[in-house]
Structure 1
């Protein structure tokens, strides 16, 4: 199921995985991040994972980088990157949020990245559900 938000759209892939696609040229603000948070909280109850598919170029404000991926029930984040700049942005986010120990893994879109990311997210979620 596809949902349109002010910054792009979210595909609900399964009961516990959402795919995020941000529109071209968007600067993700804290307000957009709050919209994203509210959406996830209204659609997921319990552990979930997010697939960020960076098919478009966009940026995030510093405040958004500090806030994004702060959900208590967020188990894993798979990021599909297509360019060197995308990869550098992911590295910067991981470094900025090092203290949070985000369970984030990057996959390269030109190397079947979306499929690999989904498989990894499902494995990460299965370890959480097997512990419950």
Structure 2
């Protein structure tokens, strides 16, 4: 299922994984983060993971960086980078949010990044489900 939004497209890959593609030259603001979080909450009732496919160039408002990826049910975030600029933005996100211990992993879009990212996200969700079952 594909969903077009004000900021880009969300592809629901399976019951627990969504792929997000942000439109070119968008600035991610707090309002966009709120819209995104609401859409994820509508679609996922439990734990989920997100694949951010950085095909396009976009930027974050600092306030948005401080809260993106904080949704309680978001358990893993894979980011596919295609160039040095998006790699730097991913490093900036990780740096700003290092105290939050977000489960983020980067992948290269030039080296089968999408397939590797989806595999990693599935592993993370499987591990999480096993951990929750034990408790």
What's the TM-score, normalizing by structure 1? 0.98
What secondary structure, in the 3-state scheme, does the structure 1 residue paired with 2:13 have?
strand
Query: Any stretches of 5+ residues in structure 2 without a counterpart?
Result: none
Aligned to 1:55: 55
For these two proteins, the number of residue pairs brought into alignment is: 132
Q: Deviations over 1:59-92 (max 9, x none)?
A: 0100110010001111100000000111110001
Aligned to 2:68: 68
Separation in 1 of the partners of 2:25 and 2:52? 16
Separation in 1 of the partners of 2:76 and 2:65? 16
Separation in 2 of the partners of 1:5 and 1:85? 24
Give the CA RMSD over aligned residues: 0.6
Query: Any stretches of 5+ residues in structure 1 without a counterpart?
Result: none
Aligned to 1:130: 130
What's the TM-score, normalizing by structure 2? 0.96
Runs (4+) off by over 6 Å: none
